[in-house]
Copies of this chain bind each other. A is one copy, B any other.
Amino acid sequence: MTLLPPPHRYEYEGSGPAIYVDSFATIRAETDLTGVPADAEKVAVRMIHGTGQTDLVKDLVIHPGLAGAARTALETGAPIFTDAHMVASGVTRARLPRENDVICMLRDERVPGLATAWGTTRSAAAVSLWGDRLEGALVAIGNAPTALFHLLELIADGGPRPAAIVGVPVGFIGAAESKEALASFAADTGINVPFVTVHGRRGGSAMAASAVNALAQEKE
């Protein structure tokens, strides 16, 4: 196999680091970040980066304690629980301060049986398998509204409390409602868990991973 670079037919930036720098500068030039907590600005920027849409900022809801709580948790070795393998795949391991575990339980052999028995999705059933390690962990939900609803129900019911929740399931059925439940969870239950979410239908695995990658370290 010949490994030759193709002749450049197109003009484009080929330096990975330069692309990141230019991308973040473009986002900052085009986005009004005044409503974002100062220590979570890079979280907003990276979430916008992952979607290609600066107007995401108007739908973002970031708890003022999010960045501090998530970073402290990761720096003390807390695991990251995700609802989807895509989210776990998007977490840049080199950014994690303590080689933190990144865990998705969706393929656990108990999941299909629990989902059937409980009349819920496999994504939601898998949340119950996070168990006591959920206490103090960082949660990132980017796919399933049912997983976010199930998590909030577990916490409200006296279960383990995560340090922070990235809650951005995407889609047309239940996604917006699950994110509203997250945004109003402290008011509804008196339980104050720092979070980031997005009003409406937008979200997704890439957005969830982007938020985690921003929370993992200060360096952009």
Chain A residues with a Cβ under 8 A of chain B: 1, 3-10, 12-16, 19, 22-23, 26-27, 49-53, 85-86, 88-90, 110, 114-115, 117-124, 128-129, 131-132, 145-146, 149-150, 152-154, 156-157, 159, 170-175, 177-178, 181, 200-206, 209
Contact = CB atoms under 8 A, between A and B. Distances in A.
Contacts of A181: 10
B206 A86 contact: yes
A5 B52 contact: no
Nearest to A110: B3
A19 B174 contact: yes
A65 to B, nearest CB: 23
A121 B52 contact: no
Given A1-B132, A170-B52, A15 B119 contact: yes
Say what secondary structure dominates the interface of chain A: helix
Oligomer: number of copies: 2
Contacts of A152: 9-10
A26 B202 contact: no
B153 A7 contact: yes
Contacts of A145: 12
Given A154-B6, A170-B50, A181-B10, A19 B202 contact: no
Contacts of A50: 170, 204
Contacts of A154: 6
Given A13-B173, A204-B206, 5 more contacts: A3-B114, A16-B115, A23-B172, A52-B172, A52-B175
Contacts of A5: 117-118, 120, 128
A152 B8 CA distance: 10
